[in-house]
Amino acid sequence: MMMALGRGIYVAHNVCFRSELQPMAPDRIGSSTSRQRDLVFVVNPLGANGRTGKEWRKLVPYLRSRLGKECNICESITSGPCHAIDITREAIREGADAVIAVGGDGTLHEVVNGFFWAGKPVVSQVKESTHSTALGLIPLGTGSDFARTFGWSSLGLRSRIDVGVITGESCDHHYFINVADIHLSAKAGFYASRYKRFGNLCYIIGALQAFIGHQNQDLRIRLNDGPWETCPQVTALCIGNAKYFGGGMKITPNADPFSRNLEVVTLQNFKWYDFVLKLHKLYSGTHLSVKNVSDRSVLSIEVEDISGKGGIYIQSDGEHLGFLPKKISVVPAGIEMIL
């Protein structure tokens, strides 16, 4: 659902809105007719320091001119955190053919979570609905790392992709589509979120701040519900459904959202100078051959802090989720997406 239009700006192309998609009426969800289908565009106008809203306003006339005869287009503007989750759930229940996230990885993350409720997929409540709602993306945010996995072009085809789910002591379910990560990288992401006004530079600022007082930690992990094992001196542990995070770092290079598995990459006993010396390898995805870096393919991984002191950060898709312990599992073919 993405097509390059120069300078890193992406627009929806008409090939993505062929007759198999259902668009959304401009005034009210659920007003689809037999001739037109419903598309819901979930827009974060404040993304990328307001650039998302500006670029979206430029796209609206294009979308209406290209799709107006075939589709009902609903523009849903988010007003704050978690609003995109509520918009998505309502759209799915009202039988929308597709919900398209317009923004960065944070907006996409919320839309993905809107596809689920209480650990189960949200379903249409429209009796005559014969299809599932698809996920789409127009990447106009700060990082837009998930889009990098698929490149900058689109075939406009529907395909089911995996998602990850994170559970903890509260038994709540939190979903992610890109990368979940633990300890240093998650702490860096937490700090980076405070500096989004600086664009991709926020990731560097966040990493520098996270290094202050950082200590590698021994963690207990359990793979695929097997025996517990100790993973010593962990610097960062990254669980990828897709390949990139942190503004273009190819951290889980073998991850594939069609594989029905998650890739786990573990960095152990790294010092600050290791990141400086090996940063180019982390961005290019050639770091798996580096000393103290390992990777494996899993269905699930549970992670606990051995020290019992707490304070080991975890995030997914750049969103802070609290602290360990957590269990991360794959949901095979969890969402239908327009690619």
Q: 151 or 285: which carries more pLDDT confidence?
A: 285
47-56, 201-210, 215-224, 300-309: range with lowest mean pLDDT: 201-210
Domains along the chain with CATH numbers: 37-141 (3.40.50.10330), 179-331 (2.60.200.40)
Average of per-residue pLDDT across 71-85? 94
Mean pLDDT, rounded, of the chain: 87
Average pLDDT (299-326) is 94
For the segment 205-232, the average pLDDT, to the nearest whole number, is 94
CA distances from 93 to 65, 80, 131, 197, 228 (A): 27, 21, 12, 35, 41
292 sits in the region (left: phi over 0; alpha: psi -120 to 50; else beta) called left
Does the annotation mark 105 as catalytic? yes
The answer to whether the CB of 88 falls within 8 A of the CB of 125 is: no
Between 332 and 22, the more confident residue is: 332
CB 221 within 8 A of CB 302: yes
pLDDT surpasses 60 at 15: no
Kindly indicate the confidence band of residue 174, based on its pLDDT and cuts at 50, 70 and 90.
very high
Distance CA 231, CA 163 (A): 25
Q: What is the pLDDT of residue 195?
A: 87
Q: What is the pTM of this model?
A: 0.87
Average pLDDT over residues 24-50: 68
Chain centroid, CA 128 distance in Å? 31
Q: Which residue has the higher pLDDT, 165 or 21?
A: 165
- Higher pLDDT, residue 214 or 34: 214
Confidence of residue 79 (pLDDT cuts 50, 70, 90): very high
At residue 25, the pLDDT reads: 36
Portion of the chain with pLDDT greater than 90, in percent: 70
Label residue 152 by pLDDT band (50, 70, 90).
low
Q: What mean pLDDT do residues 33-51 have?
A: 84
What's the pLDDT band for 144 if we cut at 50, 70, 90? confident
Q: What are the tens digits of pLDDT across the range 46-77?
A: 888 899 999 999 999 998 888 877 889 999 99
CB 141 within 8 A of CB 107: yes
Phi, psi (deg, nearest 5) at residue 28: -155, 135
299 vs 329: CA distance, rounded Å? 6
Radius of gyration of the chain (CA): 20
> Are the CB atoms for 262 and 301 separated by under 8 Å?
yes
Residue range 233-253: average pLDDT?
96
Q: Which residue has the higher pLDDT, 142 or 317?
A: 317
- Which pLDDT belongs to residue 6? 29
pLDDT computed for residue 204 by the predictor = 82
Would you say residue 26 has pLDDT above 70? Answer: no
Q: Are 159 and 336 in contact (CB under 8 A)?
A: yes
Instruction: Count the neighbouring beta carbons within 10 Å of the beta carbon of residue 130.
Output: 7
**Given the residues 105, 145, 181, 305, the one annotated as active site:** 105
